C-alpha cells in the first residue's frame, strides 16, 4: 500500500513525467558508475549513519561513520538523459518523456551490478553477495605455493581445466557435461590453498567461481533457530545461480558440515541435475571423508574423483622445507642450510603441512 501511495503522489507532482518503479533490492543506482549523480536538497532526505571500526594497524583513526540513503531525491545524468530518482525502500525513476530511458537505465545498472569487479560471488546467510576481500586474498595464492608431489598437482589441475575444454566430447558421447570432485584428508594439508588457487585461475580463464559458506539462513526478525528460507531454499538459490553462470566452478568447502540428514535428499536432486547442470564443476572439500553419506562419497556421476590430501611423506616434507628455504634465502638473519632441510624433513614424520610450517 505505501508503494501505491507513493506512486500516486509522484504522478500528481510530475504529471508530465513517466514513472518506473522497482523494489528489486539488487539494484543500486547510486553505485552505478556510468551515471552522474547529484543529490537534490530536500528537507525530507534521510540518511542512516553507521559506525565502522578500523583496524589498529591502519593508523591513529580508530573508526569512521558511513552513511546510507534511507530516503532521498537525486538528479541522474545518464547518456543524454536527465532522470529524477526518488530512493526510499524502493526506486521511483521519473523521466520527462517516455519511460524507455528509465527502463534502460535500470537494465544497465542491473547488468553492471551482476558483473564482478575484483570480487568473488559468495553465498552466505541465505543470499549471494560479491566479496572483494576474498578476491584480494586469493590474488596472493598460486599453484607454486601448493607444495605437493608434481604428478598429484598436475592430475588435479588437469581434472579441473580439461573438464571445461571437453564440452564437445561430452556431447559426442551423450554424457551430461557436469562433474564433481572431492578433496579430502586431515586438516592443514593444502586443501584451502588449493581452493584459493582454483578460484584465482578459473577467474583468470573467464570461468566464474562460486563459493558457498553455508546453506543456513537467519532472519533478524525471527528467533535464531528459525531459518527464514530454509536450507532447501538456499540450495535452490545456489544451483540456480550456478546454472545461470555456467560454465563455472561451484565450491563447497567443508562438505560434511553443509550436507546433513535434513537436506541431503534435496541436495542430491540438485547435484544430479534434474533441471540440467551442463558446464557445472562442483568441488567439495572435507576433513572428515568418513562422515560423508555414501550417496555422496561413492555414488557414480556425483563426485567421481577423490583427491587425498594426506600428511606429507618424507619426499613432500623435503619439498616443503626447500620451499621455505627458498622463501627465506633473502633474509640475512636466517641460516637455512641443506643439512637443516634434511634434518627437518626426517624428524617431522606424521606432521601435517600446517604443523611442519610452525616447526620450520
pLDDT confidence bin for 225, thresholds 50/70/90: very low
* Delimiting residues of CATH 3.40.50.300 domain(s) in the chain: 133-308
Q: Indicate the pairing of strand 248-252 with strand 208-212.
A: parallel
The overall average pLDDT reported for the chain is 89
Out of 6-15, 53-62, 154-163, the most confident range is 154-163
Beta bridge partners of 284: 182, 252
Lowest mean pLDDT segment, chosen from 86-90, 91-95, 168-172, 286-290 = 86-90
Which triple of cell numbers denotes residue 342?
Answer: 634434511
CB neighbour list of residue 108: distance below 8 Å, 6 or more residues apart:
32, 34, 78
Superfamily in which the 133-308 domain is placed by CATH: P-loop containing nucleotide triphosphate hydrolases (3.40.50.300)
Q: What is the DSSP string of 144-203?
A: GG--S-HHHHHHHHHHHHHHHH-HHHHHHTT--SEEEEEEESSSSSSHHHHHHHHHHHHH
pLDDT confidence bin for 152, thresholds 50/70/90: very high
Burial class (CB in 10 A: 0-12, 13-18, 19+), 6: middle
Q: Is 34 helix (H, G, I), strand (E, B) or coil?
A: coil
The mean pLDDT of 337-352, rounded to a whole number, is 93
Q: Is the pLDDT of residue 227 over 70?
A: no
Lowest mean pLDDT segment, chosen from 71-75, 127-131, 156-160, 228-232 = 228-232
pLDDT at 239: 95
pLDDT at 233: 92
Name the nearest CA neighbour of 197 among 161, 250, 144, 133.
Answer: 144
Name the nearest CA neighbour of 309 among 181, 139, 144.
Answer: 181
pLDDT at 85: 85
Residue 275: CB atoms within 10 Å: 11
The mean pLDDT of 256-261, rounded to a whole number, is 92
In terms of C-beta distances under 8 Å and separation of at least 24 residues, what long-range contacts does 85-92 make, across chains too?
85/29, 86/6, 86/10, 87/29, 87/30, 88/6, 89/23, 90/3, 90/6, 90/21, 90/22, 90/23, 91/21, 91/22, 91/23, 91/24, 91/27, 91/29, 92/6, 92/7, 92/10, 92/19, 92/20, 92/21
Q: Is 86 helix (H, G, I), strand (E, B) or coil?
A: strand
pLDDT at 2: 63
Q: pLDDT tens digits for 112-142?
A: 999 999 999 999 988 999 999 999 999 999 9
Amino acid at each position: 500500500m505505501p508503494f501505491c501511495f507513493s506512486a500516486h503522489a509522484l504522478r500528481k507532482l510530475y504529471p508530465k513525467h513517466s514513472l518506473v518503479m522497482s523494489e528489486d533490492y539488487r539494484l543500486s543506482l547510486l553505485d552505478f558508475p556510468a551515471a552522474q549523480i547529484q543529490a537534490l536538497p530536500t528537507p525530507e532526505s534521510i540518511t542512516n549513519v553507521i559506525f565502522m571500526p578500523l583496524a589498529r594497524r591502519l593508523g591513529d583513526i580508530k573508526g569512521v561513520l558511513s552513511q546510507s540513503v534511507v530516503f532521498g531525491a537525486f538528479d541522474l545524468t545518464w547518456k543524454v538523459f536527465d532522470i529524477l530518482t526518488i530512493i526510499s525502500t524502493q526506486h521511483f525513476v521519473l523521466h520527462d518523456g517516455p519511460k524507455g530511458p528509465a527502463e534502460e537505465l535500470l537494465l544497465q545498472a542491473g547488468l553492471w551490478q551482476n558483473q564482478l569487479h575484483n570480487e568473488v560471488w559468495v553465498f552466505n546467510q541465505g543470499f549471494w553477495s560479491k566479496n572483494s576481500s576474498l578476491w584480494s586474498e586469493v590474488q596472493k595464492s598460486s599453484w607454486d605455493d601448493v607444495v605437493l608431489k608434481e604428478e598429484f598437482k598436475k592430475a588435479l589441475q588437469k581434472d579441473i581445466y580439461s573438464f571445461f575444454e571437453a564440452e564437445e566430447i561430452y556431447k559426442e558421447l551423450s554424457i551430461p557435461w557436469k562433474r564433481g570432485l572431492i578433496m579430502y584428508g586431515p586438516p592443514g594439508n593444502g586443501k584451502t590453498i588449493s581452493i584459493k588457487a582454483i578460484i584465482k585461475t578459473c577467474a583468470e580463464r573467464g570461468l566464474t567461481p562460486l563459493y558457498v559458506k553455508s546453506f543456513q539462513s537467519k532472519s533478524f526478525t525471527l528467533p535464531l533457530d528459525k531459518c527464514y528460507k530454509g536450507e532447501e531454499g538456499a540450495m535452490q538459490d545456489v544451483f540456480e545461480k550456478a546454472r545461470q553462470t555456467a560454465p563455472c566452478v561451484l565450491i563447497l568447502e567443508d562438505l560434511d558440515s553443509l550436507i546433513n540428514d535434513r537436506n541431503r535428499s534435496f541436495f542430491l536432486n540438485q547435484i544430479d541435475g534434474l533441471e540440467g547442470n551442463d558446464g557445472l564443476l562442483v568441488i567439495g572439500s572435507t576433513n572428515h571423508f568418513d562422515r560423508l553419506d555414501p550417496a555422496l562419497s561413492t555414488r557414480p556421476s556425483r563426485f567421481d574423483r577423490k583427491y587425498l590430501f594426506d600428511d606429507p611423506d618424507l619426499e613432500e616434507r623435503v619439498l616443503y622445507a626447500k620451499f621455505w628455504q627458498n622463501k627465506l634465502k633473502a633474509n640475512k638473519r636466517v641460516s637455512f642450510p641443506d643439512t637443516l632441510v634434511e634434518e627437518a624433513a626426517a624428524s617431522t614424520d606424521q606432521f601435517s603441512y600446517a604443523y611442519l610450517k610452525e616447526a620450520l
